[in-house]
Amino acid sequence: MSNKTQTRSPYSVMDEPHSEIDAATAPVVAPLAIEVADSKDETPPSREVVFDLRDVSVYYGQALAVAGVSLEIHRNQITAMIGPSGCGKTTILRSLNRMNDSVSSFRLTGSCTYHGNDLYASGVDAVEVRRRIGMVFQRPNPFPKSIYDNIGWAPRILGMRDNLDERVEKALRGAALWDEVKDRLKTSALGLSGGQQQRLCIARSIAIEPDVLLLDEPCSALDPISTASIEDLMQDLKNDYTLVIVTHNMQQAARVAERTAFFSLDVSGGQRKGILVEYDDTATIFTRPADKRTEDYVTGRFG
């Protein structure tokens, strides 16, 4: 099933067999009138942990941005991060593949491991981390190159030149874009629609066969039809990848994710900082949240 186990040296990914989540179960209409992707399957306790965050705090300079986040992210699942603006969802997401390294004042405390390896240990090469943990951004950001070169650029620099044509086709098929662009691979990617550009960015990420895809509000700049196609695509992708999505759209989290983390702003002590309020199965978060703040948020009482 997985075709991405061949080049894994620094992080030995355990390829234990694991059970498939059945996402096709009929959606349950929750009391809060939000459709939830699946609620019947309890997460098996043996499910492989991809990311394990223990008491992670992020600082920008002296300012504490996110405080004390602990959560596990499981393999071949979609994990959603929701919460109001400024609560640190994107900061945590970008910490998972060291994208915050370019911010000179960024500092992370606590432990953030990926398949048991500390992502912030001194010997870890951030470039190698990003090679395995891809990212799709809020606004589609295709390179000002042809469609073909957008996909082929990273495989070329990473030494995956063999059968590049097939690799490009496979990536575009994987992102459900092939049929729309196969006749104009040499034309500029900037001529695609917003939704197509975002799927191109997903294709670009999966072309280098990563382990994880991080999606930072991937649909916030897209219309509802493009959004639906990206959400369908995510369901296909989770068979091969572990997905983590930050979204402002609660319905989207409810539709796509097995697990949902609710972040909020804590203003106690005169300091605004993001905190993880509750992390559970999506169905639980949206129907029987344990925390009053989660309930207020998912029922639309604030945020």
Partner 1 sequence: MLLGLAAGASILAVAIIGLIIYEIVNSASPAISKYGLGFFGHQTWNNYTVFGAATLIFGTVVTSAGALLIAAPLGIAIGLYLSLFSARRTAAIIGPLVEMLAAVPSVIIGLWGIIVLGPFLRSTIEPWLHDALGFIPLFGTPSATGSGVFTAIIVLGIMALPIIAAITRDLFLTVPSELKDGALALGATRWEMVRGVVLSSMRPGIASACILGVSRALGEAIAALQVIGSVFQISSNLFAPGNTLGATIAIQANADNSKLQVASLFYLALVLLAIELLVNLAAQAIVRHYRVPSASGPTIVAAGAPN
* Residues found near partner 1 in the complex (CB under 8 A): 58, 60, 65-66, 85-91, 94, 97, 99-100, 102-104, 106, 127-128, 130-132, 134-135, 137-145, 153-154, 157-158, 188, 190, 201, 204-205, 208, 274
Closer to partner 1 at the Cβ: 158 or 176?
A: 158
CB of 165 to partner 1, least distance (A): 19
CB of 65 to partner 1, least distance (A): 4
- Residue 215, Cβ neighbours under 10 Å: how many? 28
Residue carrying structure tokens 């169905």: 283
Closer to partner 1 at the Cβ: 197 or 287?
A: 197
CB of 63 to partner 1, least distance (A): 8
Closer to partner 1 at the Cβ: 46 or 102?
A: 102
Tally of residues, the chain = 303
Closer to partner 1 at the Cβ: 11 or 39?
A: 11
CB of 30 to partner 1, least distance (A): 27
Closer to partner 1 at the Cβ: 9 or 102?
A: 102
CB of 217 to partner 1, least distance (A): 10
Joined tokens for residue 32: 């809060």
Closer to partner 1 at the Cβ: 139 or 184?
A: 139
CB of 133 to partner 1, least distance (A): 8
Closer to partner 1 at the Cβ: 32 or 265?
A: 265
CB of 135 to partner 1, least distance (A): 4
Which residues lie closer than 8 Å to 3 by C-beta, 6 or more apart?
209, 240
